[in-house]
Structure 1
């Protein structure tokens, strides 16, 4: 991203404008996270596929084993859904960088804050809007 494009991203009062280096660092972290999440999803899908194709999986299980396996499946699915959500949030953050809207709260339009985005690059809401959302 060019200097002028990075500097145009919203920041809170008292914060210095984004530099291309700062934005590149945040983008790099997001890109690494995207690759890690994609690898996690592939691994999870491979494990599930392996279990589904095992012809003796579950043969002769007692009710406790069946329940434990069902619980494990539900746990694995919940982890996969969470991983997909995090992946989508990271990809959305990069899209917002490319569109020049990174750093603007999706609720009120005010700046999210550079420090918040450096700590949590996937943030889409300013602190005030996030607190309001969590109280609901």
Structure 2
């Protein structure tokens, strides 16, 4: 039986490989399937958002290239909208890449391993924030820098 392209047996193999913190219960195949489905849904949502943003940017770029005879206020407003859309597009692309990387780590059995210290990130943290790449301690140290 497969769920969203992943068999229960494959999910069980992944679950066994995933680290947990002391005191946490091991991952189950059902939890792996659920996290994977959530990541896939988020990836699809982000891809649609990037496509929509790309279309909006294309339109805004066309508008901003022809400024002859336009009111300076309109040109400024168009430039502001373009810059804002560029920023949102970049942020959406970053989130998409983070979700894709989380899915790859999950499928490789590396999900929940801190990229800094190599210790478990924690199952509870990964269920809430599957894009996490650092344990709480390493993340706090990184944010203080």
TM-based fold match above 0.5: yes
- Residue by residue, what CA displacement relative to the aligned partner does 1:6-31 show, whole Å, maximum 9, x if unpaired? 12211000001100100111111110
* Residues 5 and 80 (structure 1), Cα distance of their counterparts in 2 relative to 1, 3 Å cut: same
- Taking a change above 3 Å as real, the CA distance of residues 110 and 54 of structure 1, as seen in their structure-2 partners, is same
- Alpha-carbon shift at residue 71 of structure 1 (Å): 1.2
- Of 61, 80, 83, 2:92 maps to 83
Matching of residue 30 in structure 1 with residue 39 in structure 2: yes
5+ residue gaps, structure 2, are 1-9
Gaps of 5+ in 1: none
Q: Aligned Cα RMSD in Å? A: 1.8
Alpha-carbon shift at residue 56 of structure 1 (Å): 9.2
SS in structure 2 of the partner of residue 90 of structure 1: helix
CA contact (8 A) 2:11 2:32 kept: no
Q: Which has the higher contact order (CA 8 A, sep 6+)?
A: 1
- The one-character-per-residue Cα deviations of 1:19-52 (angstroms, maximum 9, x if unpaired) are 0100111111110000011001111111222344
**Aligned pairs for 1:7-86 within 5 A:** 7-53=16-62, 58-86=67-95
Q: Which runs of 4+ in 1 moved over 6 A?
A: none
Superimposed CA distance per residue, residues 88-113 of structure 1 (whole angstroms, 9 cap, x where no aligned partner): 00000111112111110000001001
* Contact residue 14 and residue 109 of structure 2 kept, 8 A: yes
1:102 matched to which residue of 2? Answer: 111
